[in-house]
Amino acid sequence: MATSETNGNPTAPVPPEAGRSGFPARSMVGAGGGAQGGVGAGARRRKPIFRIGARIGNATFVAIAVAVFVLLGLVWWAATASGWVKPIFLPSPVAVWTQLVKLAGDGTLWADAKISIYRIMVGFLIASAMAIPIGVLIGCFRIWEAAIEPLVDFVRYMPVVAFVPLTILWAGTADTQKFLIIWIGTFFQQVLMVMDNVKRVPPDFIGLGRTLGLPERKILTRIVVRSALPGIWDTLRISLGWAWTWLVLAELVAATSGLGYRITVSQRYFQTNTIIGYILLLGLLGLITDQVMKALERVLFGYARRGR
């Protein structure tokens, strides 16, 4: 392939101009600087779909993803419409939808979602605001790593669920307790992941900063953190997904409002349609936040994305 000949870095394709630019600084006679055109020629051969890493078009990707949702929806519909499953265990998609529309209409759904989103935002922001600086510190300094990493690793393996009774004892059933559970569930994971993001900064970046005469403090902020930023963003995106789980857990056990609370209440009245509707809604909310984070990632860190 034309690209791999002229390009030392396999992840970065040469722009078509590269071959033509040559080096004006010295004589080019016979040096072959212009012979690098033709990028992409011969790259369009048909390859089997089940070759490892084989690419598919964007449209195909979306079509397959949508088809899976539709298929599962159809299975669900068929199972309920045929009477194979009783509505008390699994109501039909239509019943779930009408229930959701009803709850949205009388404002219950919005109120529940609002309080839950508020809780997850506060809890997640507190956890992230603490985890990022601490993760950066232990990723950079072995002394901090020795002091904090084993402890965090220890706490990380304590099941969050087991903290629920304790947090109720400490903080009652108010919002503080929800923040606490979200914090326990995400902070310790985030710290270790951010540490890892920081440790992945190429050592030569740091060496380079030193040879440019930057003081350590500036190397930390201008190079290490800056370089780790896309990774840290990814950490936030992934841990936000977990935060949803802990939020609902906290609301299921002890709450007087929120999406989790509504699910518990609905169980008491056998309102399976509400339960399923809310579970789907939670999935949807998670999907939306994930997509928003991904879109922001593309905007903020577009420079780092691998070229197609």
Partner 1 sequence: MKLVVENVSRVFPGVRGGEPVRALEPTNLQVATNDFISVVGPSGCGKSTLLRIIAGLDRPSAGRVLLDGKPVAGPGPDRGVVFQSYTLFPWLTVADNIAFGLREKGLPERQRREIVASYIDKVGLRGFENHWPKQLSGGMQQRTAVARALANNPEVLLLDEPFGALDNQTRGLMQELLLGIWEREQKTVIFVTHDIEEAIFIGSRVLVMSARPGRIKTDMPVELAHPRHYTVKTSPAFSALKARLTDELRDEAVHAANEH
The answer to whether residues 112 and 257 touch, using CB atoms and an 8 Å cutoff, is: yes
Shortest distance (Å) from residue 177 CB to partner 1: 40
Based on CB atoms, which residue is closest to partner 1, 12 or 94?
Answer: 12
Based on CB atoms, which residue is closest to partner 1, 25 or 49?
Answer: 25
Q: Give the distance, in angstroms, between the CA of residue 199 and the centroid of all CA atoms in the same chain.
A: 20
Shortest distance (Å) from residue 208 CB to partner 1: 5
- The alpha-helical segments, DSSP class H, found in the chain are 2-6, 16-21, 58-81, 93-105, 108-140, 142-156, 163-171, 175-199, 203-211, 216-218, 226-253, 259-268, 272-300
Based on CB atoms, which residue is closest to partner 1, 48 or 215?
Answer: 215
Shortest distance (Å) from residue 8 CB to partner 1: 2
DSSP 134-155: HHHHHHH-HHHHHHHHHHHHHH
Binding residues (CB under 8 A) for partner 1: these are 5-9, 11-12, 14-15, 17-18, 21-27, 31-33, 202, 204-205, 207-208, 210-214, 218, 222-223, 226-227, 229, 301, 303-307
Shortest distance (Å) from residue 22 CB to partner 1: 7
Shortest distance (Å) from residue 291 CB to partner 1: 23
Question: Tokens 């600087």 identify what position?
Answer: 33
Based on CB atoms, which residue is closest to partner 1, 157 or 303?
Answer: 303
Based on CB atoms, which residue is closest to partner 1, 242 or 301?
Answer: 301
The answer to whether residues 191 and 132 touch, using CB atoms and an 8 Å cutoff, is: no
Angle at 96 between CA 93 and CA 101, to 5 degrees: 125
The answer to whether residues 175 and 119 touch, using CB atoms and an 8 Å cutoff, is: yes
Shortest distance (Å) from residue 180 CB to partner 1: 36
Based on CB atoms, which residue is closest to partner 1, 39 or 138?
Answer: 39
Which two structure tokens, joined as six digits, stand for 115? 């309080």
